[in-house]
């Protein structure tokens, strides 16, 4: 192949690439080199090579230890996350779960320098096509996107340490999840559910979730000192994260999670019913734990979010309604708000969404109804009948 300058080469496709020697590997007896490809001209390639060599001189790029495996680098990265605690406990837990379940079984034994973009792409495709679990179950695109997170963090650390020149993750696009409508009930189904659950002690929980749109973790954390029935409002200030089955205090799902949710008369009545139920159970219980939580079990202790999700699943199955999770009740509440004409920004604030734009995109299936209502409201003053008018639409000039 033609060579124009030291370390600069042209491939058969007419593109240019460079090679830079990092050092000598005493284990393999070979010089370790890094290669950068895809340059349109020899000048661009030469410039990139000079930049790489400058990093080598400054110690920003160093030879990769011959035996360093991805498992070892993962340990270094994840232990560092726990040490500096820049990420939340929930995120760190999820990173370890994804690394143990999806990264280590496929890539853990590979040497770091052998994990190329082609290897990462093959890994992603394997997860998507049925290699994601021991049972051969294919993973959803969004699960693969989550599985990429610890791997991307590992190679970001490797670049910072000079272990690799560039992250292989940069050249591999994340799988694109299919667009889907969040599962929710129609107003009729939600009303039917509440009607059928009327005599159950958990009725206030479901009614409040549907009416307020709170997250399940916000509901189980709600305490009476943050409820003002006279003003008709609750202050959402306490949150929990689920780590396996353990619950840990959290700062909330988003930056706008701390908020005040205004209650209508119906939701005030729901909370009054819950307080009356709680008072009755307190007096009749042989053992009662005073926690201050609004929604409690018969002994006064707060619910676990997963327990409520199982109860909801059982109830919907017995009632013959479409299966829905507690998060699905939140989706139902959001859909009801938008379909009733509540401005998206107001609905997003009520639900504690940090980005109203993403909120509108998530519930875009509701916007056609809102567009029709907007067209009607604009059209009425322009073309609707008015006192003394002979027709609703002005005649077209001849």
Q: How many residues are recorded in the chain?
A: 398
For residue 389, what pLDDT is reported? 45
Domains of the chain by residue range: 3-58, 70-171, 187-372
- Compute the distance between CA of residue 17 and CA of residue 353 in angstroms, rounded to an integer: 46
Helices 187-196 and 203-212: crossing angle, nearest 10°? Answer: 160
- Compute the distance between CA of residue 321 and CA of residue 156 in angstroms, rounded to an integer: 47
- Neighbour tally for 213: CB within 10 Å: 23
DSSP-derived pairing of the beta strands 16-25 and 30-39: antiparallel
Spatial CB neighbours of 111, under 8 Å, sequence gap ≥ 6: 64, 66, 67, 68, 69, 70
Name the strands in the sheet holding 8-10, side by side, starting at the edge strand that comes first in the sequence.
Answer: 3-5, 8-10, 16-25, 30-39
For residue 280, what pLDDT is reported? 96
For residue 391, what pLDDT is reported? 47
**pTM of the complete model:** 0.69
**Residues 74/108, Cβ–Cβ less than 8 Å:** yes
216 to each of 61, 253, 279, 396, how far by Cα in Å?
47, 11, 23, 57
CATH fold group of domain 187-372: hpI Integrase; Chain A (1.10.443)
**Residues 34/63, Cβ–Cβ less than 8 Å:** no
Topology alike, domains 70-171 and 187-372: no
Q: Which helix (H) or strand (E) segment is 5 a member of?
A: strand 3-5
Residues of the chain where predicted confidence (pLDDT) is lower than 70: 1-4, 22-33, 59-67, 132-135, 254, 367-371, 373-374, 385-398
Yes or no: domain 70-171 corresponds to CATH 1.10.150.130: yes
- Vertex 144: Cα angle to 143 and 148 (nearest 5): 120
Residue 304 DSSP code: P
SS3 of the chain: helix, strand, coil, percent, to 5: 50, 15, 35
| Separation of CA 337 from chain center | 22
Q: Which helix (H) or strand (E) segment is 241 a member of?
A: strand 239-243
Smallest CA-to-CA distance from 167 within 175, 182, 156 is with 156
- Neighbour tally for 13: CB within 10 Å: 7
Q: Which helix (H) or strand (E) segment is 13 a member of?
A: none
- Neighbour tally for 83: CB within 10 Å: 8
- Compute the distance between CA of residue 345 and CA of residue 351 in angstroms, rounded to an integer: 10
- Vertex 277: Cα angle to 320 and 318 (nearest 5): 10
- Compute the distance between CA of residue 303 and CA of residue 280 in angstroms, rounded to an integer: 18
- Compute the distance between CA of residue 288 and CA of residue 279 in angstroms, rounded to an integer: 11
Q: Is 37 left (phi over 0), alpha (psi -120 to 50) or beta?
A: beta
| Separation of CA 97 from chain center | 15
pLDDT > 90: percent of the chain: 47
- Compute the distance between CA of residue 379 and CA of residue 377 in angstroms, rounded to an integer: 6
* Averaged confidence pLDDT in the chain: 85
């Amino acid at each position: 192949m033609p060579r124009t300058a030291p370390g600069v080469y042209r491939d058969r496709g007419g593109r240019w690439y460079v090679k830079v020697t990092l050092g000598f590997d005493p284990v393999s007896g070979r010089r370790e080199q890094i290669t950068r490809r895809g340059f349109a001209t020899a000048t661009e390639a030469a410039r990139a090579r000079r930049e790489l060599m400058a990093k080598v001189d400054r110690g920003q790029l160093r030879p990769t230890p011959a035996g360093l495996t991805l498992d070892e680098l993962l340990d270094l990265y994840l232990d560092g996350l726990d040490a500096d605690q820049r990420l939340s406990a929930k995120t760190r837990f999820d990173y370890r779960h994804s690394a143990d379940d999806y990264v280590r079984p496929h890539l853990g034994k590979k040497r770091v320098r052998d994990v190329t973009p082609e290897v990462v792409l093959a890994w992603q495709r394997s997860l998507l096509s049925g290699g994601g679990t021991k049972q051969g179950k294919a993973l959803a695109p969004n699960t693969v996107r989550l599985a990429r997170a610890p791997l991307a963090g590992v190679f970001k650390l490797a670049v910072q340490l000079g272990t690799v020149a560039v992250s292989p993750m940069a050249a591999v696009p994340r799988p694109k999840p299919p667009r889907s409508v969040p599962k929710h009930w129609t107003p009729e189904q939600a009303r039917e559910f509440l009607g059928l659950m009327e005599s159950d002690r958990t009725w206030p929980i479901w009614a409040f979730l549907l009416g307020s749109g709170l997250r399940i973790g916000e509901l189980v954390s709600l305490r009476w000192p943050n409820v003002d029935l006279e003003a008709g409002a609750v202050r959402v200030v306490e949150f929990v994260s689920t780590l396996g089955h353990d619950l840990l205090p959290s700062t909330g799902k988003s930056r706008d999670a701390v908020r005040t949710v205004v209650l209508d008369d119906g939701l005030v009545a729901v909370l009054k019913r819950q307080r009356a139920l709680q008072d009755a159970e307190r007096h009749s219980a042989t053992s009662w734990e005073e926690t201050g939580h609004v929604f409690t079990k018969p002994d006064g202790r707060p619910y676990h979010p997963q327990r409520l999700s199982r109860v909801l699943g059982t109830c919907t199955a017995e009632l013959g309604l479409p299966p829905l999770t507690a998060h699905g009740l939140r989706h139902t509440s959001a859909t009801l708000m938008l379909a009733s004409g509540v401005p998206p920004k107001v609905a997003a604030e009520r639900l504690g969404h940090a980005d109203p734009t993403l909120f509108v995109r998530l519930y875009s299936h509701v916007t056609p109804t809102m567009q029709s209502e907007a067209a009607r409201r604009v059209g009425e003053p322009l073309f609707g009948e008015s006192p003394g008018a002979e027709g609703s639409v002005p005649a077209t000039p001849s």
